Amino acid sequence: MSKRFELGFEDYKRIARQVVIIYSPVILMFMSQIESWNFDYKIIYALLLSTTFDVARRYLTDYSKK
């Protein structure tokens, strides 16, 4: 596990897994919007914002103690 203020390869894998699992309905909705050429940018911003918060949380938390 990573120390505070570090992100390792395992952290990146967990972030990617969490994005795919939790946000799969949003990703599917985005893909259907791409298919119809009708974009709702709020979905993209919400996905990017929540992923940024998750990366920041993992960066600031010390998981090496657990």
- For 43, other C-beta atoms within 10 Å of its C-beta total 15
* Residue 18 forms part of a structural domain: yes
Residue 4 lies in a domain: no
Structure confidence by residue, pLDDT tens digits, 15-28: 788 777 877 777 78
Burial 1-11 (b: 16+ CB within 10 A, else e): ebeeeeeeeeb
Give a yes or no: residue 23 inside a domain: yes
State how many domains the chain has.
Answer: 1
Per-residue pLDDT of the chain (66 residues; tens, 9 = 90+): 566 666 778 778 887 887 778 777 777 877 888 888 887 788 778 778 888 887 787 767 766 665
